Amino acid sequence: MRDAAFVRGNETIVSPLTCSLAPGERSALRFESTREAATVALMAAGIVKASSGRIFIGEFDPRIQPVQAKRIVGYVPHEAVPHEFATFFGYIEYRSALWGLQRERSIADAAALLETLRDVHEAFAYPLIGALIARPALLVLDRPQAAYAPQILTVAGDCAVFSTHVSQREATSFARSRAPDRAQA
Amino acid sequence: MRPGAAIAAVIVTRLRKEARLIAYVCAASAIVAYLQPHAILSVVHDPFAADTATRATWLAGLTFFGTLCGIVAAIAQRGGARLRELELCEQSAPLYGRQLARATATVPCIIVTISSFVYWFVQFVTGMAAPPAFFLLALAAVNASTLVACSATVRRGPSRYLYVALAWLTAMVSYALAIYLDRLRPPPRGVDHYSDALGVATELSFCLVVGFIAVRQYGESLARYDPVPE
């Protein structure tokens, strides 16, 4: 992100923000409001387009190549998994169809991840697994639970991890890692 | 990548989520179809006026109540907390705006088609059902206005109301074409009713063109749409 900002009408929702993330790195940013944190996560995932400044995901500009950019990102929203799905694997099949993945492979990956995340509450585990079955290069977490930071960072593996938070304590717990980390205030 | 499978997944999941809305819309359609007039006033003696009144009785309720249902179903598809999780899931998927537009526009169209069939069935049971050709006209009108209303879901403020107004305008123009266009020409000699051909053809063509433009417009709007939390 280079001077990426989001403005709606007269309201500045995200002030100009500059940050970069190399493959395998982690970045945990803290924001003043939940709305700003959520919007930055959406911008990092290529879902919301910056009003000014530039965002590149890998080598793709989400404004010009949204599909290519979204293919390498796994976005984990703060909201829980939609409860239209009768079963966990129903949700995985839905995600797999949206991403054009092989159903059997997705289910096998999801079962393995579910086993690894057995200590994590399903409301937090399911969206994470849904994002990871597409094997993204960048995992974007919108206000994840600090209590589950070790498990989340373990399953993320070599993925670059970008997370947004509203508390410094949470940001620090996600920035703690092997890579050149930072927790910005 | 199989866009067909992704579109089907979006439609099926959203329809499952909208089961309650479908039930409400169908129940309301059944009640309105039961309450609507089922006969032409006996004071109408002119056969041509009676012909027009009959067409109006067949189409007015079905078209305008169907349009109302379509607008409600379209608006319910986006915005607010109810479908927020599904919306984020779909928006984060590697799909083009036009693919997402086709999928999400199909859902209110399916809902409004089901409710129109319920309406028509109750009309049929109570004895004043539109013949299949006129039912098709009403179905085309409600689907076209529903597709126009879809664009309201990705807009805010006055432009949102403008698209709702355009959806009503689509229904009104379709209705006027179906009922009155054939009256502009004198009826054939020795026949006590107007021909339907011109009205039917023009209304269907109008709905087809409006629906096509509406889906294209919705796709472009969706590609630019930013689902920022309120």
- The answer for residues whose C-beta is within 8 angstroms of residue A126's C-beta and 6 or more apart is A80, A81, A88, A91
> CA B50 → CA B39, B43, B45, B200, distances in Å?
10, 9, 7, 19
Q: With contacts defined as CB-CB under 8 Å, which chain B residues touch A98? A: 6, 9-10, 89-90, 93, 95
Distance (Å) from the alpha carbon of A69 to chain B's nearest alpha carbon: 8
Q: What is the dihedral of CA B214, B215, B221, B227, to 10 degrees?
A: 120
* Mean pLDDT for all residues in chain A: 88
Distance (Å) from the alpha carbon of A55 to chain B's nearest alpha carbon: 15
User: With an 8 Å Cβ cutoff, are A130 and B6 in contact?
Assistant: no
Beta carbons of A31 and B220 less than 8 angstroms apart = no
Taking each helix axis from N to C end, the angle separating B158-180 and B197-224, rounded to the nearest 10 degrees, works out to 170
Q: With contacts defined as CB-CB under 8 Å, which chain A residues touch B89? A: 77, 82, 94-95, 98, 130
User: With an 8 Å Cβ cutoff, are B227 and A48 in contact?
Assistant: yes
Mutate to test the interface with B, among A39, A94, A139 (most CBs of B within 10 A): A94
- The answer for residues whose C-beta is within 8 angstroms of residue A6's C-beta and 6 or more apart is A12, A13, A14, A39, A43, A48, A50, A51, B226, B228
Q: With contacts defined as CB-CB under 8 Å, which chain B residues touch A95? A: 89
User: With an 8 Å Cβ cutoff, are B92 and A6 in contact?
Assistant: no
Mutate to test the interface with B, among A84, A96, A133, A162 (most CBs of B within 10 A): A84
pLDDT over threshold 80, residue B196: no
CB-CB: which of B2, B92, B229 is closest to A35? B229
Nearest C-alpha in B relative to A75 = B92
Beta carbons of B143 and B109 less than 8 angstroms apart = yes
Q: What ipTM was predicted for this assembly? A: 0.88
Beta carbons of A59 and A68 less than 8 angstroms apart = no
- A110-119: string of b/e by CB count within 10 Å (b at 16+)? beebbeebee
Q: With contacts defined as CB-CB under 8 Å, which chain B residues touch A77? A: 85, 88-89, 92
CB-CB: which of A34, A82, A98 is closest to B85? A82
Of residues B70 and B133, more confidence is placed in B70
CB-CB: which of B9, B84, B92 is closest to A70? B92
pLDDT over threshold 80, residue A6: yes
pLDDT over threshold 80, residue A144: yes
Beta carbons of A55 and A43 less than 8 angstroms apart = yes
CB-CB: which of B2, B6, B89 is closest to A82? B89
Mutate to test the interface with A, among B83, B92, B154 (most CBs of A within 10 A): B92
A13-17, B50-54, B114-118: which has the minimum mean pLDDT?
Answer: B50-54
Backbone torsion region of residue A182, taken as left when φ is above 0, otherwise alpha when ψ lies between -120 and 50, otherwise beta = beta
Beta carbons of B108 and B83 less than 8 angstroms apart = no
Q: What was the pLDDT predicted at A181?
A: 39
- The answer for residues whose C-beta is within 8 angstroms of residue A145's C-beta and 6 or more apart is A124, A170
Q: With contacts defined as CB-CB under 8 Å, which chain A residues touch B98? A: none
What are the beta bridge partners of residue A5? A52
d(CA B152, CA A81): 26
Beta carbons of A141 and A164 less than 8 angstroms apart = yes
Which pLDDT band, with edges at 50, 70 and 90, does B199 fall under? confident
Q: With contacts defined as CB-CB under 8 Å, which chain B residues touch A47? A: 88, 91-92, 226-227
User: With an 8 Å Cβ cutoff, are A100 and B2 in contact?
Assistant: yes
Closest by alpha carbon to B5, among A68, A103, A133? A103
Could you tell me the pTM of the whole model? Answer: 0.88
d(CA A174, CA A156): 12
Q: With contacts defined as CB-CB under 8 Å, which chain A residues touch B97? A: 66
Average pLDDT over residues A2-12: 90
Q: What was the pLDDT predicted at B25?
A: 96
Half-sphere exposure of A56 (CA within 13 A, CB side): 7
User: With an 8 Å Cβ cutoff, are B93 and A98 in contact?
Assistant: yes
A63-77, B19-33, B126-140: which has the minimum mean pLDDT?
Answer: B126-140
* Mean pLDDT for all residues in chain B: 89
Chain A residues at the B interface, defined by Cβ less than 8 Å, are 6, 8, 13, 34-35, 38-39, 42, 45, 47-49, 66-68, 70-71, 73, 75, 77, 79-82, 84-85, 93-95, 97-100, 130
Q: For A85-143, how does the pLDDT look when each residue is reduced to its tens digit (9 = 90+)?
A: 778 899 999 999 999 999 999 999 999 999 999 888 888 899 999 999 999 999 999 99
